[in-house]
Structure 1
Amino acid sequence: MRSALMAALFAAALLASPAALSSAARAEQPPPLSKGQSLYVPVYSHISHGNLDGRGKPSELLLSSMLSLRNTDPAQSITVTSARYYDTAGKLLREYLPKPLVLGPMGSSELFVEHKDKTGGSGANFVVEWKADRAVNVPVIETVNAYFFGTQSVAFTSPGRPIHPNP
């Protein structure tokens, strides 16, 4: 009975693997070329952790956040036209780009939210808008949220997600 079960599981794994491979291969296909996007990028200016205190509040760890802007096109420039920073309530705190930022082919830049800046809260975010003259590879736009002190450290990325711009 046990060997029959093992044989059935092995056969099921063999039959499933072509589908799994094709879906994995599909996931690795490059996204379609684009002439621009608006992206929502999560920022974690602090994270809650630990146990609740006497007032029912968790401990908070303040993080810095670097918005990384990376042109992935080897032949064409892109222009980042806006990087608006919003707080947890959705209130616009500031525009990080006083003028458009041109990123040459394979070029990158970053914008920085300091560790001490907790105005955004745990639900802070950027809305980044970029454009190109021709359809190009979609850039990688994400935040790197980090805390380093002594032997303690935490760092993680938050990818940008395409959204529809305001009409």
Structure 2
Amino acid sequence: MKEKITILVIFFLFFPMLLHADEKLGLSKGQTVYVPAYSHIYSGNSERPFLLAVTLSIRNIDPKHQIQITSVDYYATQGKHLKHFLNEPRILKPLGSLRYIIPEKDKSGGSGANFIVEWKSGKSVNSPIVECIMIGTQTQQGVSFTSRGRVIVTSDD
């Protein structure tokens, strides 16, 4: 009886993985990714700004194929374009990463800042991980957190 229960447990644990094993999840030839960023957050009843350094991280998680980063732009809370990071596309090799930094003292983005990242590839590849890491310290308090990008346009032509 124990053997049958063990087999059933194993089956129910691993069966969902078998159903999706042949799916090509996350493959794309290009995307536009929206990434939330926070150049500051608010603390206390008086809503004092707590300044944060922002690091945008773009990680090519495809182990075999490079991708091309075609655009990285930074926007303020109200949607105003603040900074264009690329003058020409950048190649991101397999398993490589890029970073772009907004210093802690730069509060121009505000609490609703964001990045728009565009990338493309000549073939279907694993979509990169695009995220922001925010960190700040004031007196004896430290804050750090991340936000993950969200695909807003897919270009699989």
Using the size of structure 2 for normalisation, the TM-score is 0.81
Cα 1:50–1:103 shift into 2, 3 Å: same
Return the match for 2:100 from 102, 108, 111. 111
Query: Using a 3 Å threshold, how does the CA distance of structure 1 residues 62 and 30 change in structure 2: closer, same or farther?
Result: farther
Identity of counterpart residues, as a percentage? 45
- Letter of the aligned partner of 2:35 in structure 1? V
Given that 2:53 and 2:136 are in contact with CA atoms closer than 8 Å, whether structure 1 keeps it comes out as yes
Return structure 1 stretches of 4+ with deviation > 2 angstroms. 29-32, 148-152
> In 2 relative to 1, CA 30–47 (structure 1 residues): closer, same or farther, beyond 3 Å?
farther
Aligned mate of 2:28, from 27, 34, 37: 34
Q: Distance in 1 between matches of 2:42 and 2:151?
A: 27
Mapped to 2, the partners of 1:142 and 1:122 lie a distance apart of 16
The equivalences for 1:51-62 within 5 A come to: 51-52=45-46, 58-62=47-51
Report the equivalent of 1:78. 67
Distance in 1 of aligned mates of 2:108 and 2:139: 25
Paired residue secondary structure (2:45): strand
Q: Normalising to structure 1: TM-score of the pair? A: 0.76
Q: Choose 1 or 2 for highest CA Rg.
A: 1
What is the number of equivalent residue pairs in this alignment?
Answer: 139
Structure scoring higher RCO (CA < 8 A, sep ≥ 6) equals 2
Question: Over the residues paired in the alignment, what is the CA RMSD in angstroms?
Answer: 2.3
Pair 1:43-2:37 in alignment: yes
Q: What are the ranges of 5 or more consecutive residues in structure 1 without an aligned counterpart? A: 1-17, 53-57
